Structure 1
Amino acid sequence: MNIQISDIGHVIQLAIAPVFLLTGVCTMLMVLTNRLARIIDRSRVLEDRLEIAAHDPYFDELDVLDRRSHLINYSITLSTTCGFLICLVIALLFVGDTTNLPLDRYVAGLFVLGMFALIGSFAYLLREIFIASTAMRARRHMRPRRMRADGS
């Protein structure tokens, strides 16, 4: 097994595209964890308010937050799965080149699975965003309107 520097350079060139994809997936994971943190913070505020006075709107909002957190958790799981699969793709590129094993079908299959996981992650994120914006519009319509100084 005589590995040339030029061979390693070629494999690194092949691995750069999946590494950029991995960077995007990590950015997606940061966005998802920030959204989850905000959901958790809001849930804690509402739970504290429930201890003071039990109001139905708080229960309704907690139900929405619960649904949103489940969707974000699914999205995080799929993004993490995508990242794991892309890491395997990069590893198999190096293993296949250094051992001369024909791993191209495995690399392609793992890449496609990673893309399906990323698509699923975006779908769950989009669903969570729709639920959040629908809940926000519903809360805005429930608020009493303030009267202006001119009485209108």
Structure 2
Amino acid sequence: MPFPISYDPDPVDSAAHLIQVALTPVFMLSGIGTLINVFNTRLARVADHLEDVRKKLSAPPSDDTPADPLNTPERLHSQQKRLHRRVFVLDAAILLNAIGGASTCGAAMALFVGSIRDASTSAWLLALFGIALACTVGSLMFFLADTLLSWHGLRRDTNLTLDAE
């Protein structure tokens, strides 16, 4: 006696394929979330350093403390300018990552809407996922710019320290 329910492998295969495809945005969102966390932590450290430089600039020099050649007003203004650049590029990296995350969510939504309504949403899916990838690459480029600014500042500080000795 055969079972009353017929087994058609196509719906199961298509559902399995949909689940496999839906996992791609989940992994991408996880990576984007991790990058945003890294960029926010780095931005907080830069902001703390910028606040320290502002305090040093606003503090009047006292007569009893010896002059520090590494904390001259010119050098502190130079550090302040570099730190402002770093804040800008990190803000841009976070913004691009946020847009990439939103686009990834939109791509996942287009995928599900297309599968539920049997509508052709492939153009939306490709556009949103392409935007997500482009924004993620752009945010990594801004992160590279921040890293280069940081390295430049460290090298400059090291050279000034060696020259002062």
TM bracket, shorter-chain basis: 0.7 to 0.9
Query: Deviation string for 1:76-125 (max 9, x for gaps)?
Result: 11011000000001111111100111001110111111111111111111
2:26 maps to 1:19: yes
1:78-89 aligned within 5 A? 78-89=96-107
Q: What amino acid maps onto 2:80 in structure 1?
A: L
The higher radius of gyration belongs to 2
C-alpha RMSD of matched pairs (Å): 1.9
1:39-78 aligned within 5 A? 39-53=46-60, 55-78=73-96
- After TM superposition, give the deviation of residue 144 of structure 1 in Å: 4.2
- After TM superposition, give the deviation of residue 11 of structure 1 in Å: 2.6
CA distance in 2, matches of 1:65, 1:8: 50
TM-score by structure 2 length? 0.80
Residue 135 to residue 146, structure 1, CA distance change in 2 (3 Å)? closer
- After TM superposition, give the deviation of residue 12 of structure 1 in Å: 2.6
CA distance in 2, matches of 1:59, 1:12: 54
1:31-46 aligned within 5 A? 31-46=38-53
Q: What amino acid maps onto 1:100 in structure 2?
A: D
Q: 2:129 aligns with which of 111, 114, 134?
A: 111
- After TM superposition, give the deviation of residue 137 of structure 1 in Å: 0.3
Which structure would you say has the larger RCO, counting Cα contacts within 8 Å and 6 or more residues apart?
1
Structure 1: unaligned runs, 5 residues or longer: 148-152
- Percentage identity across paired residues of the two chains: 24
Q: What amino acid maps onto 1:137 in structure 2?
A: R
2:132 maps to 1:125: no
Q: 1:102 aligns with which of 89, 111, 120?
A: 120
Q: What amino acid maps onto 1:40 in structure 2?
A: A
Larger CA deviation: 7-16 vs 77-86: 7-16
Query: Deviation string for 1:13-62 (max 9, x for gaps)?
Result: 21101110110010000010011000100011111111114711111100
TM-score by structure 1 length? 0.87
